[in-house]
Structure 1
Amino acid sequence: MDVRTQTLRYFVAVAEEMSFSAAAERLGVSQPAVSRQMRLLEEQIGAPLFARNTRDVRLTAAGGALLEPARQTLLMWEKATRLARAASALTDNRLRVGCPSLGMNALMAEAAGAFSLRFAPVLVQPHTYLADQGTAQLRQGMVDAAFLWLPADTTGLAVEVIAEETRMLGIAEGHPLAHQSRVDLADLGADAWRVNGGALAAAPWESDPLCAMPADNVEELLENVASGGGMCVLPQSVARLYQRPDLCWKPLADAPPQRIGLAWPAERPHSLVRNFADLVLRLGWSQEPLSDRQSSSA
């Protein structure tokens, strides 16, 4: 009986996490489901893959031998499905472009319109995704190119920085910083750890912790901020969507700008994907403040 790629994915997750519960959380499934798949895999191979006790999980010799080939098999399958999906879409003159569900709609519309005019009859199909899912959509072949908030894990992807925008600090209307004419990073003080629901976490600025966009519920984040539960830092294009009387938005004066990138699979990109990337770069979004351009296109 052949082993399914899903089973190998479960195995790799357990081997990397060294925990069945952590692997289940990472995969978004129940722990019994992971355990059941590992038992079936061990039966198929005819050897134990993990040594388990009440304290930890370890790979056996058989598990260690399987791990790297399993990773490579998953990578090959991921590549095969991506290429097949891309070939199907592009043969039908459809260029699938991913875009975060918040903040970049104006950029998407301008790029799609310009591309369709120049490369008709190719149709640009926008695919929206949650803030942290763009690279996954690319690797799974669900889109051919994608706009991304940077930094992101772009391993195996080609990336061009196409625009930058101001970072905005969101605070409750009654917060002391709401009355300052200028807000700097140092002003965040003891509340900094609560930025974006804890995303700052005292990490060095160079790692760009404030880039973390809430993937599930921006409205809930802003409710917490408005009620005095910390702060948030969001790109200006996103902050513009959430103007409300109990929130105050302040430019974070000395924060580096939020970068926006266009990414696509680095290996064997279709000519239409490269054409789209070239067109986006020629649109010149990096030559003027993104907020000015989006305001003029609204």
Structure 2
Amino acid sequence: MELRHLRYFVAVAERLSFTAAAEDLGVSQPPLSQQIRDLETELRTELFRRTSRRVALTEAGQVFLGHARAILAQVGQASEAARAVGEGRTGILTIGLTGSVLNGPLGRLIRVFEARYPEVEIRLHQASPEAQQAALRAGRTDLSFLRSPPEDPDLTVVPAWPERVGVALPEDHPRAAQASLSLTDLAGERYLSLRRADSRFANLLWEACLAQGFVPQLSHEVVEAQALMSLVSAGLGVALVPEQVGRLPHPGVAYRPLDEPAPRADVSALYRAPPSPVVTNFLSLLRDGGQPRPAA
């Protein structure tokens, strides 16, 4: 017995006409009649009473109709569930990130994605860049957003969004009166940094200072950009921070952009290839700039 037999049987049972059922199914009547006869032969019972004037279900046919409809409904549900997963319309998306990344467009991207794919559950996994890389390789996360991502043959890297670097300094600092600063203005300042052992981005900033001819006078290292802002607010030094972090309101902190040449805080998306359908849909949204779809 095949699903085709069940579909043919239900069509005839609902129309009580082989001719009408054949038209609905888009087949000719003789093959349809043969398929019903084959089904009855397999079941060893008649499902229809046929006369020259009408077609009616037998008692066995009435019982079989209920089961056939239930089977076809379950097959339809299973097919739709499989399509939903295959098209990335349902499932789980685990995103690795650092706290500072959420200050940029990612939050809005997640909101638009959830509106577009309400059956996908998004889980956020905050971790250091090194831990994010390990989680991606191990399959514990599906997608990560990092600044200055590492080279890893197991991971694919694509641009997510551009971001500048600026200077966070105490609001009573003499240079807070300037509209912008250069890297060399930081020479001799107490320098606050993300922990270089954990952050390629922190090392990129450090090397940018060296390229401008000075070694930063390191005062404190922390693991999160928000902690940097707290230390700046306390007057413990100045820090190079991503623009999205610096422009948030922080009591006691002034943010000033950097003159060129200046390092960048561009964010990249990382994933294992080939991406899952859910990841593919999120990357597509990222490429579109996270714009909601227009109403139909």
- What TM-score do you get using the length of structure 1 for normalisation? 0.52
Per the TM alignment, residue 115 of structure 1 is displaced from its structure 2 partner at its CA by 2.8
1:234, CA displacement in angstroms? 0.9
Indicate the residue corresponding to 1:196 in structure 2.
193
TM-superposed CA distance for 1:114, in Å, is 2.9
Tell me which amino acid in the other structure corresponds to 2:288.
Answer: R
Partner of 2:236: 229
Q: The residue matched to 1:102 in structure 2 has which SS? A: helix
- Alignment-mate amino acid for residue 98 of structure 2: P
Choose which of 98, 116, 127 in structure 2 pairs with 1:100.
98
Q: Secondary structure at the match of 2:275?
A: coil
Q: How does 1:118-129 map to 2 (within 5 A)?
A: 118-129=116-127
SS at match of 2:191: helix
Q: CA RMSD in A?
A: 3.6
> Is the 1:194–1:231 contact (alpha carbons within 8 Å) kept by the matching residues of 2?
yes
SS of residue matched to 1:104: helix
Mapped contact 2:168–2:238 kept (Cα < 8 A): yes
Matched, 1:216 2:216: no
Q: Match of 1:79?
A: none
1:99–1:148 contact (8 Å) kept in structure 2: yes
Which residue of the other structure, out of 269, 274, 281, is the alignment partner of 2:275?
269
Paired with 1:219 and 1:114, the residues of 2 have a C-alpha distance of 25
8 Å Cα contact 1:130-1:215 kept in structure 2: no
* Partner residue, 1:172: 170
1:185-233 Cα distance to aligned partner (Å, 9 max, x none): 2222233x824168568635699x99xxx66354553444345433211
SS in 1 for 2:270: strand
User: Displacement, 1:181?
Assistant: 2.3
Equivalents in 1 of 2:285, 2:227: separation in Å? 37
Cα pair 1:151 1:259 within 8 Å, conserved: no
Cα offsets for 1:153-172 (capped at 9, x unmatched): 44421111121122120112
Over 3 Å counting, the alpha-carbon distance change for 1:97 and 1:222 in structure 2 is closer
Determine the C-alpha separation between the residues in 1 that align with 2:130 and 2:192. 17
Matches within 5 A, 1:1-298: 93-104=91-102, 107-130=105-128, 133-191=131-189, 194-196=191-193, 199=202, 203-204=207-208, 216-218=223-225, 220-241=227-248, 243-245=250-252, 247-254=253-260, 255-266=262-273, 268-283=274-289
SS across alignment from 1:122: strand
Q: Is the 8 A contact 2:100 2:226 kept in 1?
A: no
Query: Which one-letter code corresponds to 2:94 in the other structure?
Result: R
Structure 2 Cα separation of the partners of residues 215 and 135 of structure 1: 20
Structure with the greater alpha carbon radius of gyration:
2
Contact 2:193/2:222, CA 8 A, preserved across alignment: no
TM-score (norm. length: structure 2): 0.53
C-alpha contact 1:115 1:279 (8 A) present in aligned 2:
yes
Secondary structure of the structure 2 residue equivalent to 1:258: coil
Residue identity opposite 1:261 in structure 2? S
- Match of 1:244, SS? coil
Structure 1 residues 106 and 238: CA distance shift in structure 2, 3 A? closer
- 1:135–1:153 contact (8 Å) kept in structure 2: no
Structure 2, unpaired ranges of 5+: 1-84, 197-201, 292-296
> Distance in 2 between the 1:153 and 1:167 partners?
22
CA shift for structure 1 position 250: 0.8
Alpha carbons 1:99, 1:105 under 8 Å: kept: no
Q: CA deviation at 1:183?
A: 0.7
User: How many residue pairs were aligned?
Assistant: 190
Change (3 A) 1:206 1:107: farther
